[in-house]
Structure 1
Amino acid sequence: MNRIRQVRRLWETVRHLKPIQIYGRIGYRLRRPRAANAVAVRRRDASGHWAETFAGPPSLVGPTEFLLLNEVRQLDPGGWDDASVPRLWRYNLHYFSDLTAIDNALRADWHQSLLRRWVAENAPGVGTGWEPYPTSLRIVNWIKWALTGHALDADVEASLAIQLDWLTRRLEHHLLGNHLFSNAKALVYGGLYFEGPDADRWLRIGLGILRRELAEQVLPDGGHFERSPMYHALAIEDVLDLINIDQAFADRAGLAAQLRPTAQRMLRWLQSMSHPDGEIGFFNDAAFGIAPSLDALSAYATRLGLTLPRAEAAPLVHLRDSGYLRVSFGDCVALIDVAPVGPDYQPGHAHADTLSFELSVAGRRVFVNSGTSEYGLSPERLRQRGTAAHNTLIVGALNSSDVWSGFRVGRRAHPTGMTLHQEADLVRVACSHDGYQPTLGLIHTRTWTFTPGRLVIQDQLSRSGPTSEARFHLHPDIAAIAPELLPLASGKTMHVSTTGADAMTLAASTWHPRFGQSIPSKVLAVQISGGTATTTFAW
């Protein structure tokens, strides 16, 4: 039976893949192209305007000391590809993100030394640093640094051209999604920064991919198709960066005019999926400190001459294509997930969070989903992706979608039958999902009813089944000692009551607002053995 389950899981995982992912993966593993020794290009004159880009927090805290993913490590001799260091940390090391960080000019001498060292110690085509994704991000950061007025040594600029040529042979068609988009962005950057036949080829390949991927990855409502607010914010930065590089080279690629409306739609989506504190909601893989904030992206867009979209003032905003809702009612803001897990062929950043939600009251977060503190194959990574780490209903010990390994999804929950009802003093949202149907024969339906100072949540199963539990994860600022009475960080008090439930308890949990960070918190758990239970939150 275990083998049958494994085969079924594998089938549910791979049956959605596009053919290019299958033969692309085979080709990627079997084909080992050689990197060129040199590429005959020269730097192009930038005749347009280069705007100041987004500047993140510094990651270089000493000449060879890095703070990445909340972990400080020294770059020892030969340490660019130390197998004892987590792979994600090594990826970030090779990005060179400090080149564009806050006060980067103060560290210019360190940067020059590290650039030379990277070229000397990373043989073309060998090691983590030459994998397509870190190569793509590094190319962009090196070019941004050069366009800001820093001089690339001849050896460094020659390596940059070799990296671009190499990237054309290692495009991530087997992954698609944000990886392939980043590959294309790097090729556009290189194709504009350099000139010559090879540079023209890079630009042509990059633009071809971008135009295809933009049409698919940015949904009509402005949301990114992977349904992660964090990756959505990164995608906005990508689009703004592309506008910037095109304007710097006098609209040579013809991208700026095309991408301006796209950037505005994406900013409007991010406005809707941010809490009153200005930061993103945690749905699917999401954490602070990886992507620029809404304010930072808005400031960048303004520097590029974009008109910022007005924030939606309506009590109910339905992001129909991506599958999220924002309810702004009185002093509360709720973000509600009625979305599919992501694109069927690439749900790698999906969590089993269908029909989860987050809530802020009086400008402060109250209910929060797990967040993301790590990638990889650990049990903790799997736990953070699971249903129990989110504000929704878990039946038995089963996840609503079968998340497994680090980035895999087998059986998927599909939201169905959503209804919306709005009156002057009431907003009601109802939706079902079939994630438990194949295994348990159950449909979960959740209804959120908002009235002034009150949220009522009804969870209903289509028939009796295993014991279920509605989980409501509290922000760490809420020092609750009893499940019925929650002292909110805003100074208000939230009263909690249930009907149809067996018990309501308060248990220890953790929240993961940044990579490498786990903060103790508490979770309110409502145990249900019957088919329906209602939980009321009044403040």
Structure 2
Amino acid sequence: MIDRLIRIFHTLRYLKPVQLYYRVYFVLARKRVVSFFKKKLDDAVPLSVAKLTLHPFSIHHAVPEGNRFVFLNLEKDFGARVDWNYAANGKLWNYKLNYFEFVNDEKIDKAYALALITDYCKAMKNIDWGLEPYPISLRGMNWIRFFVTHKISDPQLNRALYWQFKMLYYTVEYHLLGNHLMENGFALLFGAYYFRDEKFYKKATRILKTELAEQTLADGAHFERSPMYHCILLHRVLDAYNLVASNPWKQDELQTILKQKAAVMAGWLKQMQFSNGDLPQVNDTVEHECEPSVLFQYAQALGIQPQTTALGESGYRMIRTPRFELLIDVGNIGPDYIPGHAHSDTFSFILYVDGAPQLVETGTSTYLPGERRHLERTTASHNTVAVAKCEQSDVWSTFRVGRRAKVISLKEEANAVTATHDGYRSIGVLHERSWTWTNDSITITDKVTGNKSAEAYIHFPPGVQPRMLDAGKIDAGFFFIGLANHTQASVGEYLMAAGFNKLERCACLNIQFTDRLETKISLHAPGQLR
């Protein structure tokens, strides 16, 4: 009981007062707000719909065949009519269904897409999760783009869309903040332009100006430090810029802000990519869920060039040599008040050699609450160190973090990075890790104070099978791993996330030590794969 209270204290202490206030508001008022607007759906309302222009750009989404939908690698065939409340595949799957992203894929049949929208409007009084603020936000923007692209102006559909925006206006997600609040702001901006609604515009600009400043770090990263969510929000910034630049309804600084943020966000994304186009699968970034190359094309089409700034505040560093690319994480998890997509991964790293992944993260395969979701966020699922079988940061539930590691020192040199975190302070331990490198080798040195047992983890991708040559030497195909000062090392197995709801059995190296461990990665000469 005491431990649970301590965990809750460390979880709540970082929340902003506005989050606490609106959590109470959502519990007490949201259902009544939704119920009120459901009753208004049939009410006539005088609407003035603007004839908007948008620069055409299509991003691929899974297009349903008949009423067979595939999201998160899970399929459901609804037969004659879609069940918009379908929950058997989890809440995120239902959210994806309710986003209506598929209506803007160039391959979808216009009449079929319109029929789905019409059916949704007829079912709206009975919709559950789909009328939460986040899916309303994405659906609203997707419907507007679809209507504008196909020059559709249907009074009944516009009325249903308007009442959804009114519902969103009164249920903005101040209790969550972060990417959810930003999406609410972008949606209200689209609603404002489409309906020429001054109230929507005022709230949208207030949210976006505040949150773009708050949520874009100095090096261009989105502050939740997830490359996947960074891509999602960069896409949204580009869409918003497309909207305001193509439709001169308002003349203020928002257009300039959007263009500047899009440039620095694109710059960060470019620096985080590996040379083969991959993104690091960190902090709930899921394989194949985003396409950076398409975003760069979109930015270019809008006249926006990536603006690069040295990686800094996001906590990531990308070391590139002629042979390898090494991404290291020397930052805090965060932001403190919304760490829902954070993992216990301080000082983890990812290694690509000759353009191919060789050391990877476990990754993310699910948001469903349970053992697998928890496992994927824990220290042992990352290429870092656990001490005395404790967690660096107390990840719990589905999106919560209690006590958390803080980086207390960081030193960067031409060919070395050294950092210390205090995630094990509760057991009197500090963990220091340094990376030093040449063109064909990397040496990782771990120091753990307090004379405690520790375990380092190294995860290999599919197709890489390390072989123990002796007690301190491992052949990993493209390189040798040499160990010094370890007490034991063994090759085991783990399940790597290869996408939502997709797992692949792969090899991992577990290394036990006390006080100090040296791990040296020595690349084989090009072409000498063993």
- Scaled by the length of structure 1, the TM-score of the pair is 0.91
Amino acid corresponding to residue 263 of structure 2 in structure 1: Q
CA displacement 1:273-296 (0-9 Å, x = unmatched): 1111212112211112333x2211
The answer to whether residue 257 in structure 2 is matched with residue 265 in structure 1 is no
Tell me, what secondary structure is at the counterpart of 2:303? coil
Change (3 A) 1:150 1:367: farther
Q: Give 1:343 deviation, angstroms.
A: 1.1
The answer to whether residue 450 in structure 2 is matched with residue 452 in structure 1 is no
Change (3 A) 1:203 1:474: same
Q: In the comparison of the two structures, how many residue pairs are matched?
A: 510
Q: Distance in 2 between matches of 1:257 and 1:168?
A: 25
Amino acid corresponding to residue 113 of structure 2 in structure 1: H
Kept in 2, the 8 Å contact 1:54–1:296? The answer is no
CA displacement 1:107-150 (0-9 Å, x = unmatched): 222211111111111217x4111011011000011111122125
Matches within 5 A, 1:384-533: 384-422=376-414, 427-438=415-426, 440-465=427-452, 467-482=453-468, 484-488=473-477, 493-528=478-513, 530-533=514-517
The answer to whether residue 304 in structure 2 is matched with residue 306 in structure 1 is yes
Q: Give 1:54 deviation, angstroms.
A: 4.5
Tell me, what secondary structure is at the counterpart of 1:531? strand
Tell me, what secondary structure is at the counterpart of 2:318? strand
- Among 19, 22, 26, the alignment partner of 2:20 is 22
Change (3 A) 1:150 1:396: farther
Matches within 5 A, 1:103-182: 103-104=107-108, 107-123=109-125, 126-182=127-183
Report the equivalent of 1:216.
Answer: 214
Amino acid corresponding to residue 164 of structure 2 in structure 1: Q
Amino acid corresponding to residue 72 of structure 2 in structure 1: L
Comparing 242-251 with 354-363, greater Cα deviation is found at: 242-251
Q: Give 1:487 deviation, angstroms.
A: 4.8
Q: Distance in 2 between matches of 1:14 and 1:309?
A: 36
Q: Give 1:481 deviation, angstroms.
A: 4.0
Q: Distance in 2 between matches of 1:517 and 1:94?
A: 22
Kept in 2, the 8 Å contact 1:264–1:308? The answer is yes
Q: Distance in 1 between matches of 2:27 and 2:289?
A: 29
Q: Distance in 2 between matches of 1:301 and 1:245?
A: 13
Kept in 1, the 8 Å contact 2:344–2:391? The answer is yes
Q: Give 1:228 deviation, angstroms.
A: 0.8
Kept in 2, the 8 Å contact 1:59–1:66? The answer is yes
Tell me, what secondary structure is at the counterpart of 2:398? coil
Report the equivalent of 1:330.
Answer: 322
Q: Distance in 2 between matches of 1:191 and 1:28?
A: 24
Q: Give 1:524 deviation, angstroms.
A: 1.4
Kept in 2, the 8 Å contact 1:347–1:408? The answer is yes
Amino acid corresponding to residue 72 of structure 1 in structure 2: E
The answer to whether residue 264 in structure 2 is matched with residue 276 in structure 1 is no
**Structure 2 residues not aligned, in runs of 5+:** 524-530
Kept in 2, the 8 Å contact 1:59–1:68? The answer is no
Kept in 2, the 8 Å contact 1:474–1:523? The answer is yes
CA displacement 1:292-323 (0-9 Å, x = unmatched): x221111000111112346x8xxxx5x22221
Tell me, what secondary structure is at the counterpart of 1:266? helix
Q: Distance in 2 between matches of 1:260 and 1:347?
A: 27
CA displacement 1:479-529 (0-9 Å, x = unmatched): 3344744454xxxx311110000122111112113212111111111111x
Change (3 A) 1:396 1:253: farther
- Scaled by the length of structure 2, the TM-score of the pair is 0.93
Report the equivalent of 1:90.
Answer: 94
Q: Distance in 2 between matches of 1:377 and 1:305?
A: 42
Q: Give 1:202 deviation, angstroms.
A: 0.8
- Among 46, 50, 60, the alignment partner of 1:44 is 50
Amino acid corresponding to residue 455 of structure 1 in structure 2: I
Report the equivalent of 2:67.
Answer: 64
CA displacement 1:338-381 (0-9 Å, x = unmatched): 11111111111110000101111110111111211110311100
Report the equivalent of 1:537.
Answer: 521
Change (3 A) 1:256 1:54: farther
Q: Distance in 1 between matches of 2:212 and 2:16?
A: 17
Report the equivalent of 2:10.
Answer: 12
Report the equivalent of 2:367.
Answer: 375
Q: Distance in 1 between matches of 2:166 and 2:28?
A: 19
Tell me, what secondary structure is at the counterpart of 2:225? coil
Q: Distance in 2 between matches of 1:476 and 1:133?
A: 35
- Among 81, 86, 96, the alignment partner of 2:85 is 81
Report the equivalent of 1:99.
Answer: 103
Report the equivalent of 2:528.
Answer: none
CA displacement 1:373-425 (0-9 Å, x = unmatched): 11031110000000100010112321110000000100010012111111xxx
**Structure 1 residues not aligned, in runs of 5+:** none
Change (3 A) 1:250 1:513: farther
Amino acid corresponding to residue 372 of structure 2 in structure 1: E
Q: Distance in 2 between matches of 1:263 and 1:533?
A: 42
Kept in 1, the 8 Å contact 2:61–2:101? The answer is no
Change (3 A) 1:85 1:283: closer
Change (3 A) 1:411 1:58: same
Amino acid corresponding to residue 372 of structure 1 in structure 2: T
Kept in 2, the 8 Å contact 1:243–1:259? The answer is yes
Kept in 2, the 8 Å contact 1:171–1:180? The answer is yes
Q: Distance in 2 between matches of 1:436 and 1:57?
A: 43
Change (3 A) 1:225 1:54: farther
Tell me, what secondary structure is at the counterpart of 1:79? coil
Tell me, what secondary structure is at the counterpart of 1:140? helix
Tell me, what secondary structure is at the counterpart of 1:160? helix
Q: Distance in 2 between matches of 1:182 and 1:204?
A: 15
Kept in 2, the 8 Å contact 1:53–1:241? The answer is no
Q: Give 1:203 deviation, angstroms.
A: 1.2
Kept in 1, the 8 Å contact 2:265–2:306? The answer is no
Q: Distance in 2 between matches of 1:253 and 1:208?
A: 15
